[in-house]
C-alpha cells in the first residue's frame, strides 16, 4: 500500500466514520455510504494534506478509491513531490 493510499484511507475513515477494512481500491463512495458533504470534506482534507488542488471537473473521474489514489499520485508527480 502506498503512503498516498494510507493517508487517503486515514482521511476517509476520519470524515466518513467507516471501517478501514471496507476501503479497498475498488470501493466506491456508495460502498462506504459517503454523502456529498463527506466528499467535500474529504476533498478539502486531501487538498490540505497533499498541498494540491482538485478541480471540480476532475471529481467525476473518480469511480472508486483506487482512482482517487492514482489521481493524487499523478498530481504529486507533476509537482515533483512523489
Looking at the annotation, which residues are catalytic?
35
For residue 75, what are the contacts with CB-CB under 8 A and spacing of at least 6? Answer: 50, 52, 54
Smallest CA-to-CA distance from 42 within 5, 79, 8 is with: 8
d(CA 4, CA 8): 6
Amino acid at each position: 500500500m502506498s503512503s498516498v493510499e494510507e493517508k487517503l484511507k486515514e482521511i476517509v475513515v476520519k470524515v466518513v466514520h467507516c471501517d478501514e477494512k471496507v476501503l479497498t481500491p475498488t470501493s466506491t463512495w456508495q460502498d462506504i455510504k459517503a454523502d456529498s458533504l463527506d466528499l467535500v470534506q474529504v476533498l478539502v482534507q486531501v487538498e490540505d494534506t497533499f498541498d494540491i488542488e482538485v478541480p471540480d471537473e476532475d471529481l467525476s473521474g473518480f469511480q472508486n478509491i483506487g482512482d482517487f489514489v492514482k489521481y493524487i499520485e499523478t498530481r504529486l508527480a507533476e509537482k515533483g513531490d512523489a
